[in-house]
Chain A
């Protein structure tokens, strides 16, 4: 029986359990000395939980354990004695035998696989039946236990509510688990990388060419400084030169000058800029902006302008970040008490003087925090640079030259054909760890600043 069908059966049994316990509890007295403690529905939930949860847990464990058990049994079959001991070939024969047994394929490439298939089929069906039987047994046993406890005095409500509480706690722990998972998985793979490549070579080396990694000194061609520079140059310099003036001035205009009806329409329009998928920006950058930038560079006299310039990627990324900067600036300007603004206006200052001399200084921490968040977003942005930036790692100040970024290199390193544990693929995890730590720090600082600042006027 497939696990999907079993899943449905368990859910059905849970429903039956719910109805049964509820019907029984409904007949208890509602008044008098031996009146029931909990509502019928709560008894129902109690029994449904005992029916479904142990069975589901077992099913999950069984699904992850049983393939190994099946393989174990097949290897003890007489036909398995002729298997080669070499790991990779052995695995492929076993996989093929499994496919034949499952009916996914018709012909066998290896004779051994065809010989093993019946053993595989037998073992699979046996373990499937054992699993089904045990699951159903658990469901019925759990249900029977819960049913035996349904009585007027039984505190089903307390039990059910405590379980709900545990469920809620587990759900909220998943955020921590994800954070830990990210950190641990990056750390483990990076540790493997740094056991091959010295960490100083990676952090301070200025030569990056992962296509040819020498086996004697892999660190020599894996120096990430050009990537850090390119990321900083594209994401924190060029993109911000576009995003900060546009974002800040838009926020100022929309909060201070624009009529409410204009504001009502323009704000969502700007927000659409943030909702456009980055792959669309990347396509736009590669197809329209990059050639235009190159033509412009040639026209003003740069002979070696690259078609994959840092400027093209940075410009488009800056446009993408505009709504982000503007909404952060919008929030922090709105948080300045209106008494300060009114006071300045009453003293005879013009609106622009009020904005630049009173509102902006007062909201500066919030605005700066918004910019930090925008930078962290820009350096983590991937698709625009994958499609519009170049793969050549250079350290340059000329925006018309090509530059590459950390995220682009991660994609390039991991979508190649290399084996999973070569220095080349592991380098991607080291880059990912660096990126994670940098954005993490930027976010922590920005969130701290925002939090501290928001409380200042309340």
Chain B
């Protein structure tokens, strides 16, 4: 740097310097230092990548190890002697459609409780979940010949025993649990109800089907609204729009909408769809509309890139044989751009599926125990269900929450994998 200072007579600086002695101690030390710095820098880079990947791995492993238990339930095998209980039904009655009717007044609830008391002592019935007798009914319907004999049936335990199994139950539950384990009657099995039931107050009886169905309805509304609008406005901006201030304004709004925080869309939905248009509160319809506005810019941007990638020669050829501009777009450009458009749409839908904050704003945080039947019914979605359960750490919901997270992540990974597959399979380079 000092060479640039105008000091002394102007001489070519090469003459002022002795040739560099690359083998001198100072020089080799300097080079060693530089190489060490290089190695350090490279190591930091590698460490950053590996640590970031470790964060992800740690997150996933925590969720999976917490959540696998949420798909399981503990069961006790209770021996029930149907022959002595005199159920007043015949195997023939249980084969037809009248099975439920025949069993309705048969006192299965009492029978189940009595059997548990007989097996595990006076408070034995306290071990069972309140819905345990429905399992007995199901067993009878599956195998009507049970009526005349006795059998051991696996019944779900309630939340008290669940927590005792994890070592944090009340003394009574611990004592009961030790009697059950002494009888070697404790089992664990896959909990099908978790996938087919809706929300409930008892952590042993909850399921995610209500939330999954709500998510499906919401996604349907989102797709039906965001996809056509997004694709059509991308077509307009790429193929028709004149370059003027209006189209600049449209472009700027789209780019900014893509970066507006999602909770702001929730405020919009609350102020416009609920307060002005009086659409039903906490319905998938409003959730879908809100999310559609949120992901529309994503679809527009992806579609524009896909349309831009279609080479002009195809448009020119079509125009050359007499096609109109609408025909060029709808017969040639859009079909060729479709894979790119679909990839962008799937990524946008994946974002909408994982979104929670805007849906909290429009009231989709209610306790909903029946799956919605349509888009205007009160509904909840999977991420909101996770949020609601996450508040109830003390009541045995930790495993259930993590299990629901596993289901949500599985959906998202599947959607992203589909997007990547589409991109690789149909990507064309002209």
Contacts and interface: CB of A to CB of B under 8 A. Distances in A.
A436 B264 contact: yes
B396 interface: no
A288 interface: yes
Nearest to B406: A280
A261 interface: no
Contact of A250 (B38, B52, B351): B52
A152 interface: no
Interface residues of A, number: 88
B236 interface: yes
A116 to B, nearest CB: 21
B257 interface: yes
A277 interface: yes
B360 A283 contact: no
B83 interface: no
A407 B267 CA distance: 11
Interface string B343-362: 00000001101111100110
A350 B267 contact: no
B41 A355 contact: yes
Of A248, A280, A380, A381, chain B has the most CB atoms within 10 Å of the CB of: A280
A429 interface: yes
Interface stretch (B53-61, B87-95, B308-316): B53-61
A411 interface: yes
A257 B46 contact: yes
Among A188, A278, A353, A377, chain B packs the most CB atoms within 10 A around the CB of A278
B259 A279 contact: no
Contacts of A253: 42, 45-46, 48-49
Most A CB contacts (10 A, CB to CB) among B40, B45, B297 go to: B45
Interface string A341-370: 000000000111101100000000000000
B229 interface: yes
Interface in B233-269: 233, 235-237, 240-241, 249-250, 253-257, 259-265, 267-268
Interface in A424-453: 428-429, 432, 435-436, 439-440, 443-444, 447
Given A257-B42, A269-B56, A429-B267, A172 B236 contact: yes
Nearest to B59: A284
Contacts of B353: 277
B35 A387 contact: no
Contacts, number: 248
A283 B354 CA distance: 13
A312 B51 CA distance: 17
Nearest to A286: B390
Interface string A244-256: 0111111011101
Contacts of B53: 266, 269-270
Nearest to A170: B232
Interface in A168-215: 168-169, 171-176, 178-179, 181-182, 185-186, 188-189
Interface string A366-380: 000000010011011
A157 B35 contact: no
Contacts of B261: 376-377, 379-382, 407, 435-436, 439
A419 interface: no
A115 to B, nearest CB: 26
Contact of A178 (B35, B257, B412): B257
Contacts of B413: 272
B401 to A, nearest CB: 6
Given A185-B271, A277-B408, A246 B48 contact: yes
B44 interface: yes
B401 A283 contact: yes
B386 A171 contact: no
Contact of B271 (A186, A286, A319): A186
A410 B268 CA distance: 13
A337 interface: no
B302 to A, nearest CB: 14
B409 A280 contact: yes
B387 interface: yes
B152 interface: no
B68 to A, nearest CB: 16
Contacts of A287: 390, 393, 398
B365 interface: yes
A87 to B, nearest CB: 16
A389 interface: no
Interface string B253-289: 1111101111111011011100100000000000000
A381 to B, nearest CB: 7
Contact of A172 (B63, B233, B351): B233
B62 interface: yes
Contacts of B37: 350, 352-353
B348 to A, nearest CB: 12
A166 B192 CA distance: 52
Contacts of B326: 160-161, 164-165
Contacts of B350: 275
Interface in B58-111: 59, 62-63
A447 B255 contact: yes
Interface residues of B, number: 83
Contacts of B255: 443, 447
A282 interface: yes
A26 B267 CA distance: 53
A249 B42 CA distance: 9
Interface string A236-249: 00000000011111
B151 to A, nearest CB: 41
A245 B48 contact: yes
Contact of B297 (A157, A175, A380): A175
Contact of A168 (B38, B233, B254, B390): B233
A383 B357 contact: yes
B373 to A, nearest CB: 13
Contacts of B253: 175-176, 178-179
A97 interface: no
Contacts of A256: 45
Contacts of B241: 172
A376 B259 contact: yes
A262 B319 CA distance: 45
A288 B405 CA distance: 15
Nearest to A319: B55
Contacts of A168: 232-233, 235-236, 240
Contacts of A148: none
Contacts of B157: none
29 contacts: A168-B235, A168-B236, A168-B240, A171-B236, A172-B232, A172-B236, A176-B253, A178-B296, A179-B256, A181-B272, A182-B268, A185-B271, A249-B48, A252-B45, A275-B350, A275-B416, A276-B59, A279-B387, A287-B390, A319-B55, A350-B38, A379-B261, A380-B264, A382-B261, A411-B263, A429-B267, A432-B267, A439-B261, A440-B260
Given A175-B296, A439-B261, 11 more contacts: A171-B228, A175-B297, A253-B49, A254-B49, A270-B52, A275-B354, A282-B387, A350-B37, A380-B261, A382-B356, A410-B263
Interface of B: 34-35, 37-38, 40-42, 44-49, 51-53, 55-56, 59, 62-63, 228-229, 232-233, 235-237, 240-241, 249-250, 253-257, 259-265, 267-268, 270-272, 275, 293, 296-297, 300, 324-326, 350-351, 353-357, 360-361, 365, 383-384, 386-387, 390, 393, 398, 401-402, 405, 408-409, 412-413, 416, 420
The 5 A-B residue pairs whose C-beta atoms are closest, nearest first, are: A380-B261, A253-B45, A277-B354, A172-B233, A249-B48
